[in-house]
DNA sequence: ATAAATGCAAAACTTTTGCACCCGA
DNA sequence: TCGGGTGCAAAAGTTTTGCATTTAT
């Protein structure tokens, strides 16, 4: 809601070590980590970085379009170093979040525009279910308990 | 993550006034309210209900499949008294959440199953953009400032 | 009677923020 | 130098939880 308008031409963003490392960490994982996980990773490189700085930069990078913020009905956010539009799958058993390799259906946005007359900027699609590992474990467990 | 397994046959759920009123409140609005909003509404009927009870029941009703919990990248949840699968639209300007009247594409779940071999239980689709009111206001503002 | 549910308040968690100091351009 | 960025710690906001008590069945 609070969009912090960047007044045209005023604020010029600086390149800091902290911001660079945070982005590096996110770019080099596919695990869709939490802010705290990112913090722990960055600490290995910059031990005295503060959690506040991590949060500030995650928000900044998100606003710059460099990363994406995800939710998944938890009380905390996850972050994705890949800003390209794509879908996600969340395993209800192990909680892992994976990328989904089906094409992005922009025509859905057109449907909404036609149906309701709203401007649609983007959409977000998440699948919930059980990943292969957890399916097999569940199967094994079921066999054992009988 | 913490699924609180309902042991078969043990726990029998009671019908309480608190739970009934909370569900009523959710069933009689289309606004996808927050826990706090629900709390304030229910207080008009049961003045000494506690926020904890509201949270406990919202979680319970969600697990019972009576309501749905929504996220939208905020730090708090929203709740939907309509448990039937449907999509949502969130206005990035005014923050309101509305139902989207396009059919639910279950074939997407089939695509994911085929592509990745995961069991898919359900999916969640959210559109982000600007609602009609906000579009018009934005247009008006743009006219004025020139 | 019995155990699920509540009220109350403290605690837990995630995220934000004020402020003095630091440092990149 | 100048103002954006950082570190630190306190604060804010949402959600959870322990415990004594109430209440539905």
Q: What Rg value do the Cα atoms of chain A yield, rounded?
A: 19
CB distance B115–A123 less than 8 Å?
A: no
Closest nucleotide C1' to the C-alpha of A12: D4
Beta-carbon pairs below 8 A across chains A and B: 120
pLDDT band at A14 (very low <50, low <70, confident <90, very high): very high
Query: pTM for this structure?
Result: 0.90
What is the tens place of the pLDDT at every residue in A16-44? 999 999 999 999 999 999 999 999 999 99
Which of A125, A130, A142 is the best substitution to test chain B (most B C-beta atoms within 10 A)? A125
Which of B32, B71, B102 is the best substitution to test chain A (most A C-beta atoms within 10 A)? B71
| Residues contacting A23, CB < 8 A, separation 6+ | A61, A66, A67, A81
**What is the pLDDT, as a whole number, of residue B10?**
60
Count Cα neighbours of A47 within 13 Å in the Cβ-side half-sphere.
0
**What is the pLDDT, as a whole number, of residue B12?**
87
The alpha carbon of residue B33 is apart from the nearest alpha carbon of chain A, in Å, by: 15
Cβ(A62)–Cβ(A83) below 8 Å: no
**What is the pLDDT, as a whole number, of residue A4?**
37
Mean pLDDT, rounded, for A5-18: 72
Mean pLDDT, rounded, for A43-50: 97
Cβ(A75)–Cβ(A87) below 8 Å: no
Given a cut of 70, the residues of chain B with pLDDT beneath it are: 1-10, 145-146
Instruction: Enumerate the residues of chain B whose CB falls inside 8 A of the CB of residue A72.
Output: 71
Cβ(A77)–Cβ(A97) below 8 Å: no
Q: Tell me the C-alpha to C-alpha distance, in Å, between residue A76 and each of A33, A102, A116, B25, B68.
A: 10, 26, 31, 27, 18
| Residues contacting B41, CB < 8 A, separation 6+ | B25, B33
Cβ(A93)–Cβ(A130) below 8 Å: yes
Q: Which of A39, A7, A120, A42 is nearest to B132 (CA)?
A: A120
B71 secondary structure, DSSP code = -
**What is the pLDDT, as a whole number, of residue B68?**
97
CA–CA dist A84, A86 (Å, integer): 6
Chain A residues with CB under 8 Å of a chain B CB are 1, 69-75, 77, 89, 91-92, 95, 98, 100-102, 105, 108-109, 111-112, 115-132, 135
Mean pLDDT, rounded, for A87-100: 95
Backbone angles phi, psi at B70, to 5 degrees: -120, 160
CA–CA dist B143, B57 (Å, integer): 48
Backbone angles phi, psi at B131, to 5 degrees: -75, 170
CA–CA dist A29, B82 (Å, integer): 37
The distance (Å) linking the CA of A60 with the C1' of C14 is 18
For A81-85, A137-141, B17-21, B130-134, which range has the lowest pLDDT when averaged over its residues?
A: A137-141
Q: Is the CB of A18 under 7 A from strand C?
A: no
Strands B119-130 and B87-91: parallel
Look over chain A and give the mean of its residue pLDDT values, rounded to a whole number: 91
């Amino acid at each position: 809601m609070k969009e912090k308008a960047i007044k045209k031409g005023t604020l010029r963003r600086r390149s800091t070590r902290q911001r660079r490392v945070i982005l590096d960490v996110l770019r080099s994982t596919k695990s869709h980590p939490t802010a705290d996980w990112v913090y722990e990773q960055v600490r290995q490189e910059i031990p005295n970085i503060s959690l506040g700085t991590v949060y500030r930069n995650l928000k900044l990078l998100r606003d710059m379009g460099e990363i994406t913020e995800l939710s998944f009905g938890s009380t905390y956010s996850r972050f994705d170093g890949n800003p390209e539009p794509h879908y996600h799958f969340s395993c209800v058993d192990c909680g892992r979040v994976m990328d989904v390799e089906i094409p992005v259906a922009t025509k859905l946005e057109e449907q909404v525009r036609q149906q309701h007359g709203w401007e649609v900027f983007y959409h977000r699609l998440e699948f919930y279910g059980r990943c292969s590992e957890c399916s097999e474990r569940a199967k094994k467990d079921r066999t054992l308990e009988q």
